[in-house]
Structure 1
Amino acid sequence: MTLTFEVDPAVDPALRDGVLSLWADVSNAGGAVGFVPPVTPEEIRPALLKHLVAMAEGGTRLLVGRDEEGRIAATAFFTFNTHPLMTHWVWLYTVMVHPRHQGRGYGRDLMAAVEHTARTAEGFEAIEAIRLTCRGGTGVDGFYAKSGYKEVGRVPDAIRVAPGDDRDDIIMLLPLR
């Protein structure tokens, strides 16, 4: 089975709850998506609301992947730059695949859908690159490298997961042109 991807899905309670559930499940499985386990959907809700507000204002776009049962199984948020010298690239945030689907190639499918969206979707015509950051020590930078992203910077010990557990903030870029 594969995931079905959609850009800019309708924001309704089902979408909101599906993303919250996904985000909590990914975080609690050890995913590096802004929280440290244990975390509840209610603790994540303010971060999601920031994304949803940015979507309503037109500065952020959402790509969701749904599994064969229609559940939200993957996400990636694109955030456009407002700085006039940086409008030619987008940030990619909250890249997630549900733990029950990991190991099936869905992460590769998500990253291919991200690239396809940035290359072809309406509103992305001026975008020349995708930039993301990831937490060091997780191995996810290797995954992104396999998807064509190059490490372009690293801030040592920028992320404090817990007292005495600082991780690098790794900056990666995928040129589209």
Structure 2
Amino acid sequence: MPLTFTLDPTVTPALRDGVLGLWADVSNAGGAVGFVPPVTREEIRPELVKHLAAMAEGRHRLLVGCDETGEVAATAFFSFNTHRLMTHWVWLYTVMVHPRHQGRGYGRDLLAAAADAARGFDGIDAIRLTCRGGLGLERFYGSCGYKEVGRVPAAIRVAPGDDRDDITLLLPLA
């Protein structure tokens, strides 16, 4: 059953809790979304609050994918540039698919929905995102049309002695 994607959903307590739960579950399954396991919802909450505040200020937008039961199963946050020379592209952050839904093509569906949404934003020509090296994520994003445009070796310290590359990818929308 495909996910149903909504751009800019109304932020209700259920949606907030759903995103928070997704973020914790993805992180604890080893997903590269800003935390390393084990992590609690309470440790993630301040980061979610930052995203929600940026949404309220119009600096971020949220794309949510819900499963057939209405539960939050996937997310991606768009972040708009404020620098006058970079307003033609957006960042895509916190790209997640719940572990129980992985392997069904929902990650590709999420990225396609994100590209479709970004094409509807005024003056946006491309999407940039970063990913953590060492997990093969750049191959997945590459298979979805993203091109690697930069890499900073050992920029992400997952744990003492475990440094990963910070990889920047770009998807032109034209």
Bin for the TM-score computed over the shorter chain? over 0.9
Q: Quick one: distance in 1 between partners of 2:138 and 2:33?
A: 13
* Counterpart position of 1:7: 7
* Counterpart position of 2:169: 172
* Counterpart position of 2:123: 126
Amino acid at match of 1:152: V
4+ aligned runs moved over 6 Å, structure 1: none
- Tell me by how many angstroms 1:144 deviates: 0.4
Report matched runs for 1:24-35 at 5 Å.
24-35=24-35
- Tell me by how many angstroms 1:104 deviates: 0.5
Aligned length: 174
1:104 is paired with a residue whose SS is coil
2:63 is paired with a residue whose SS is strand
Report the TM-score when normalising by structure 1: 0.97
* Counterpart position of 1:154: 151
Give a deviation string over 1:110-132, Cα, whole Å, max 9, x none: 01101110112xxx120000000
Amino acid at match of 1:23: W
* Counterpart position of 1:19: 19
Q: Quick one: distance in 1 between partners of 2:72 and 2:117?
A: 18
Amino acid at match of 1:139: G
Report matched runs for 1:94-113 at 5 Å.
94-113=94-113
Report the TM-score when normalising by structure 2: 0.99
- Tell me by how many angstroms 1:41 deviates: 0.6
Give a deviation string over 1:6-64, Cα, whole Å, max 9, x none: 00000111111000000000000000000000001110000000000000000100000
Q: Which runs of 5+ in 2 are unaligned?
A: none
> Is it true that 1:142 corresponds to 2:136 in the alignment?
no
* Counterpart position of 1:75: 75
Q: Which runs of 5+ in 1 are unaligned?
A: none
